């Protein structure tokens, strides 16, 4: 009889603890998303860059700052920062970060890879990038009559554009007037684009900066 009473008391205690949520089991943590990560906190800062750069612009983006195409692809959050080299040559680093629906990132990367090669006065070639995950692209746009850009050995061209990236929006052709190197990469649902522009372009330095940015993503 005493054993039955003890068993009943034990079962009652377990039901009370379960109702209070005081059990040993824990729920799976929610996935990390752009809305859970402070994009400014993982952006490049002054200590990540070579000497001579100063912050000249930073901005947290809202829905009003992005295109209908970005919103249709699941844009969640955005941040951009610009650093300018104070001494000659005047080189500018533009670092853009955004969170997207992860399944849309291949289309976003494909569109950027196409749209950011649209300067009519530049010629383009791909560069090999390492240490930036599988979804990474790198290329240089240069003015063909300038000699400040050393063209490396050719690398395989980037993959073809997807139908979604091509059909949604067509980039405009414009004149840029300066060389630049651009590196695009993702981690989780975070997309980052680093563009370094100026009269002298160092792709190895650009890749090293991008690797620092990649390492800051949780």
Please report, for the domain that includes residue 64, its CATH number.
3.40.1000.70
Give me the pLDDT at residue 155, please: 40
Residue 21 in any domain: the answer is: no
Q: What is the pLDDT of residue 125?
A: 94
- Smallest CA-to-CA distance from 82 within 177, 172, 185, 198 is with 198
pLDDT of residue 201: 85
Closest CA to 155 of 136, 168, 169, 174: 136
55 domain residue, yes or no: yes
29 DSSP β-pair partners:
none
Q: How would you write the pLDDT of the chain (218 residues) with one tens digit per residue? A: 555 554 444 544 445 444 444 444 445 545 555 557 899 999 999 999 999 999 999 999 999 999 998 999 999 999 999 999 977 668 999 999 999 999 999 999 999 989 999 898 999 999 999 999 988 999 999 988 755 554 444 343 343 333 333 233 445 567 888 899 999 999 999 999 999 999 888 999 999 999 999 999 99
d(CA 137, CA 127): 8
Q: What share of the chain is helix, strand, coil (3-state, %, to 5)?
A: 30, 30, 40
79 located within any domain:
yes
- Tell me what pLDDT residue 174 has: 73
Question: Are the beta carbons of 65 and 97 closer than 8 angstroms?
Answer: no
Q: What angle do CA 151, 153, 159 make, to 5 degrees?
A: 100
Is position 170 within any domain?
Answer: yes
Q: Which of 134, 115, 117 is nearest to 125 (CA)?
A: 117
Q: Are 43 and 77 in contact (CB under 8 A)?
A: no
Q: Around Cβ 197, how many Cβ atoms within 10 Å?
A: 18
Q: What is the pLDDT of residue 108?
A: 93
| 1 domain residue, yes or no | no
The verdict on residue 14 lying in a domain is no
Residue range(s) defining the domain that contains residue 196: 33-215
pLDDT of residue 176: 84
Residue 24 lies in a domain: no
Does 121 map to a domain?
A: yes
**How many domains are there within the chain?**
1
């Amino acid at each position: 009889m005493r054993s039955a009473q003890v068993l009943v008391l034990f079962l009652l205690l377990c039901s009370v603890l379960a109702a209070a949520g005081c059990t040993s089991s824990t729920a799976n943590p929610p996935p990390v998303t752009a809305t859970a990560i402070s994009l400014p906190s993982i952006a490049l800062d002054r200590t990540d860059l070579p000497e001579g750069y100063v912050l000249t612009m930073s901005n947290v983006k809202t829905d009003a700052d992005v295109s209908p195409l970005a919103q249709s692809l699941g844009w969640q959050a955005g941040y951009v920062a610009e650093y300018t080299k104070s001494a000659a040559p005047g080189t500018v680093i533009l670092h853009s970060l955004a969170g997207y629906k992860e399944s849309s990132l291949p289309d976003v990367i494909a569109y950027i890879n196409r749209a950011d090669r649209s300067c009519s006065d530049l010629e383009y070639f791909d560069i090999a990038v390492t240490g930036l995950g599988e979804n990474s692209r790198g290329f240089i746009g240069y003015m063909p009559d300038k000699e400040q850009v050393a063209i490396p050995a050719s690398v395989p061209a980037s993959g073809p554009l997807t139908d979604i990236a091509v059909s949604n929006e067509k980039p405009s052709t414009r004149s840029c007037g300066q060389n630049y190197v651009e590196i695009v990469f993702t981690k989780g649902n975070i997309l980052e684009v680093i563009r370094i522009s100026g009269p002298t372009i160092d792709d190895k330095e650009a890749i090293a900066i991008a690797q620092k940015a990649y390492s800051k993503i949780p």
